[in-house]
Amino acid sequence: MKKVLVAVDFSDTQERLLSAATDEARARGAALVLLHVIEPAAEVAGFETDPEMMRLRIGQDFEVEQRIEKERLAQLAAEITGRGVDCESHVRFGLPADEIIAAAAELGAERLVMGSHGHGAIYHLFTGSVVTGVLKRTGCPVLVVPLRDQAK
């Protein structure tokens, strides 16, 4: 079955992103895959390669966080399924761009949908952009949904 993967970060603009992703899946006759990536704390990201070691070093209770996020995503998936689009959900732990690319490959997604919050160049200079990281390294088409209010 065709799949469209959408990266969900639970921001306040999530509904705009999910609406675009649902429309994309419906137009393609595809199932929608919701993906949320639990990010390690910034001070250790990149210094440890093993997620279990990162969790132990920063005291992040991954199991609790994963359970909470799985429940949130399952609720969203049920709502989307109720709108007539098959939907599944997955939670992963790691660096968002890496995990989005890996999940898309593993799950056979033929299109990615991601939101862009529209931060400025200085912000991206210091923090980078998940969308940019994915665009540079994936061979899968990516639909980028602007999430910033148009009035700004």
Per-domain boundaries in the chain: 3-146
pLDDT for 104: 97
pLDDT for 109: 97
pLDDT for 103: 97
pLDDT for 20: 95
- pLDDT by 10s per residue, the chain, length 152: 799 999 998 888 889 999 999 999 999 999 999 999 998 765 544 555 555 555 555 555 677 888 999 999 999 999 999 999 999 999 999 999 999 999 999 999 999 999 886 555 554 444 458 888 898 999 999 999 987 765 44
pLDDT for 60: 55
Edge-to-edge strand list for the sheet holding 3-7: 87-93, 31-38, 3-7, 111-116, 142-146
d(CA 78, CA 89): 10
Q: For the whole model, what pTM was predicted?
A: 0.80
Q: Looking at this protein, which amino acid is placed at residue 11?
A: S
Q: Environment class of residue 82 by beta-carbon count within 10 Å: exposed (0-12), middle (13-18) or buried (19+)?
A: exposed
pLDDT for 125: 45
pLDDT for 106: 96
- Fold type of domain 3-146: Rossmann fold (3.40.50)
